[in-house]
Amino acid sequence: MGIRDQEPSLETMALNDIHTPVLLERCIELLAPAIQKPGAVLVDGTLGMAGHAEAFLTRFPDLTLIGLDRDLDALAIAKQRLAPFGDRARFVHTVYDGIVDAIASQGLSEVDGILFDLGVSSLQLDRVERGFSYSQDAPLDMRMDATSPLTAETILAEYREGDLRRIFENYGEEKLAARYARAIIAARQIEPITRSGRLVDILQEATPGALKNAGHPAKRVFQALRIEVNQELSVLERTIPAALSSVAVGGRIVVMSYQSLEDRLVKRAFAQASASTAPAGLPVELPEHKPEFKLLVRGAELASDAEKALNPRATPVRLRAAERLWKPAAPSGTKRSARGSGE
């Protein structure tokens, strides 16, 4: 996905031109059995510019959608785009690990479908001043939620060398993490590192000549900084179990991730939810030990060549999906009506 030279205004933005939802038809196919009934509720945990949400509300006229996003700019665009659907579209400003509270805010304890499209959004990439891209010079911000305090600039100014190395290794899987961390510490002694262009220069200068043609040296470092700024992996690790607990019997969850660290967390949570809890050697599996979920796709499903050609952002996607088979009895007094007030 490219970066635009000029930022379009909210009023003139052609949403369909700048945002093609990834694997839209596949997501609809997987979620349809759970959400095509009257009164069904779907949570879009990564609402973004509402490309998926608009399609679901259009295809399923009895559906209510709860859209979550930490990005206030994205929520503003989504509210504008989904205004024609009235009260069928609800909006909650939250990081997606707040999914249980977000559902409860609508008077519900469970929902029929959940969709997550992880990673950085089209809006965040396309708005240069957000600082997510290494291909355009911009302030080193990288916050998905502009109200949160930590920025990439703060990390580069305050983190110790060992901490920088750790996040580059753990979140960027960067083999030159130690070299890049040392270079950043040395550079910031001369002047603060406040812009993405300056950081790119530092990384390029620190990259051995033999490796300069092996991909852009800033790619993994920028990924690591973005993950650290937004605490993406720790948030996701909390989110998937919370989301699974919120799926009704017969309900489904679809998660799309774009890098191996995210997918690994999703895979682990889905594997646990779809495994028997019976003790080893037990001759008969008791009902309470049966898996609560079944997996709907084998492994991680990738985009087809046709999808990649249509939408380059789909190239690294890994899709996983599951359906709830049964659920332990819920406490009495909980409600499942979709009648609630949106934010």
Residue 13 has pLDDT above 50, yes or no: no
Residue 159 assigned as binding residue:
no
pLDDT in tens, 79-123: 999 999 999 999 999 999 999 999 999 999 999 999 999 977 555
Is residue 248 within 8 A of residue 261, CB to CB? The reply is no
Residue 37 has pLDDT above 60, yes or no: yes
Residue 322 assigned as binding residue:
no
- Tell me the H-state helices in 259-322: 260-273, 305-310
Query: Per-residue confidence at 1, pLDDT binned at 50, 70, 90?
Result: very low
Residue 124 assigned as binding residue:
yes
pLDDT at residue 285, rounded to an integer: 66
Residue 180 assigned as binding residue:
no
Residue 343 has pLDDT above 90, yes or no: no
Q: Could you tell me which of 322, 339, 343 has the C-alpha nearest to residue 115?
A: 322
Query: Per-residue confidence at 212, pLDDT binned at 50, 70, 90?
Result: confident
Query: Per-residue confidence at 328, pLDDT binned at 50, 70, 90?
Result: confident
Q: What is the mean pLDDT of residues 136-165?
A: 94
Average pLDDT of every residue of the chain? 87
Residue 218 has pLDDT above 60, yes or no: yes
Phi and psi, residue 142, nearest 5°:
70, 15
Is residue 196 within 8 A of residue 133, CB to CB? The reply is yes
Is residue 233 within 8 A of residue 300, CB to CB? The reply is no
User: For residue 340, how many other CB atoms are within 10 A of its CB?
Assistant: 17
Q: What is the mean pLDDT of residues 308-336?
A: 84
pLDDT in tens, 221-272: 999 999 999 999 999 999 999 999 999 999 999 999 999 999 999 999 999 9
Residue 134 assigned as binding residue:
no
Residue 214 has pLDDT above 80, yes or no: no
What is the rounded CA–CA span in Å between residue 325 and residue 143? 38
Q: Where in the chain is the domain with CATH 3.40.50.150?
A: 15-123+233-324
Residue 5 assigned as binding residue:
no
Query: Per-residue confidence at 130, pLDDT binned at 50, 70, 90?
Result: low
Q: Which CATH architecture has domain 15-123+233-324?
A: 3-Layer(aba) Sandwich (3.40)
pLDDT at residue 19, rounded to an integer: 64
CA 245 to chain centre: 18
Residue 50 assigned as binding residue:
yes
pLDDT at residue 253, rounded to an integer: 98
For 128-230, CATH gives 1.10.150.170
Q: Where in the chain is the domain with CATH 1.10.150.170?
A: 128-230
